[in-house]
Chains A and B, each alone.
Chain A
Amino acid sequence: MKICVTASSEGLDSEVDPRFGRCSYFIIYDPETGSVESISNVNAAASGGAGIKAAEVVANAGVGVLLTGGAGPNAFSIFAELGIDVQVGAKGTVGEAIRQYEAGELQSIRSPNSTPGFGMRKGDGKGKGMKGGGMGRGMGRGM
């Protein structure tokens, strides 16, 4: 069963990126063959729906397990539909994250643990990014 890890650059030695929809790369690792594929996240800077597009990439790569920092409600609905196991808490490099997963050190999440727009950098165009901060006035108004 293929494993996807969100990362800041290519390959097993890159650092885990805790953001899902707005990570730089998806590293797809196949434990059966040992193959490693790095897919650039072309939607990392999308103004909206980055999580949906990222989940689409992961779904179409045939991934069974996703190691990342968190997923919002839109992306999570795709994982739930396809039965993709989302595990959080990985630290260090992609290689280390896979080892932590195989050792059973990570936790599955059963509901979204992030909000749309999480992980947008300052200057991305919207005033969001407070994890668990909810939607206040001035947030989520940019559609």
Chain B
Amino acid sequence: MKIVIASGKGGTGKTTVSLNLALALSDVQLFDCDVEEPNCNLFLGFDLEKVEDVVCPVPVINQEKCSICRQCSDFCRYNALAALPGRILFFPSLCHGCGGCTVLCPENAIREVQRPLGVIEKAKGESYPEFYRGLLNIGETMTSAVIKRLKKYIDDRKIAILDAPPGTACPVIASVEGMSYCVLVTESTPFGLHDLRLAVDVVRTIKIPFGVIINRYGLGDSRVEEYCNAEGIPVLLKIPNDRKIAELYSQGIPFVREMPEWREKFLGVSEAIKLQLAVKEELTI
């Protein structure tokens, strides 16, 4: 089972839910997909080691062979190549590494080199949970490439929990795609509801079964619950706006470690997800 924890709005508690769920379950892999600023390990404190460099193949153009036929620049849908009167100019930060320009070049003037984008790191030795994260190089924008690479470490025999980046753009799609279930974490504020609607649009479009966890419950008003009821979206858990939870968070402690009653509640979330997936499967058969 592959569960991705996402949200529209940032700061609603994706990492909190990911960590506590991972610590409540057994035989779990935890993936920090927020590769621009992965923060799961602030709460885990594992020693990390690099397991892989994430690279993007980019073109190097031999200007002597190049006839400026423009086939490469016309083909590039990310506009990484500009055909100027005197030469082809390449903009590495826009290149997605599809390799199309190299294949198309009639003069064989293009060869590829590997441009580094970031790294994949893993907790050293035997850790619990088994932990991986992506780390995007500073200034780099090819976020999705690092996330996609990170997801290759998912072991289908285990439960995978993915802590997704915030928002509803490509990095979120890259995290959510192909997963069995998506948990959307939100809060009962106007922003929380607004961005939850956007996130619901995304998961519905890519057809991933999903449910909602309301964090800091008691804050704001009841509109998120009313929305979920009206839309038939299951509310898997409500985490109260509780001072003890906030204090533990501020000390970098996932609250299931100090509040064992919450271990049961997160196990309940996992059971509710399994049930929802089983019902869905029955309906499709």
Q: Which residues of A contact B (CB under 8 A)?
A: 43, 46-50, 52-53, 55-56, 59-60, 62, 74, 77-78, 81-82, 125-127, 137-138, 140-143
Contact = CB atoms under 8 A, between A and B. Distances in A.
B188 interface: no
B79 A43 contact: yes
Secondary structure at the A interface, as helix, strand, loop or mixed, is loop
Given A77-B89, A143-B96, 14 more contacts: A52-B79, A52-B80, A52-B91, A53-B79, A53-B82, A59-B85, A60-B83, A60-B85, A74-B94, A78-B84, A82-B84, A127-B169, A141-B141, A141-B167
A132 B102 CA distance: 36
Given A48-B78, A49-B94, A141 B84 contact: no
Contacts of A56: 73, 82-84
Given A126-B169, A138-B10, A143 B143 contact: yes
B171 interface: yes
B165 interface: yes
A83 to B, nearest CB: 11
Nearest to A143: B141
Given A77-B89, A78-B89, A143-B142, A50 B79 contact: yes
Contacts of A143: 78, 94, 96, 141-144, 170
Given A78-B89, A126-B169, A141 B36 contact: yes
Contact of A141 (B83, B89, B165): B165
B170 A52 contact: no
Interface string B241-262: 0000000000000000000000
A133 B170 CA distance: 22
A138 B19 CA distance: 23
A140 B83 CA distance: 25
Nearest to A46: B79
The 10 closest A-B pairs by CB, nearest first: A49-B79, A142-B169, A56-B82, A143-B141, A49-B94, A59-B84, A52-B79, A52-B82, A142-B170, A53-B79
Interface in B40-97: 73, 78-80, 82-85, 89, 91, 94, 96
A49 B73 CA distance: 12
B211 interface: no
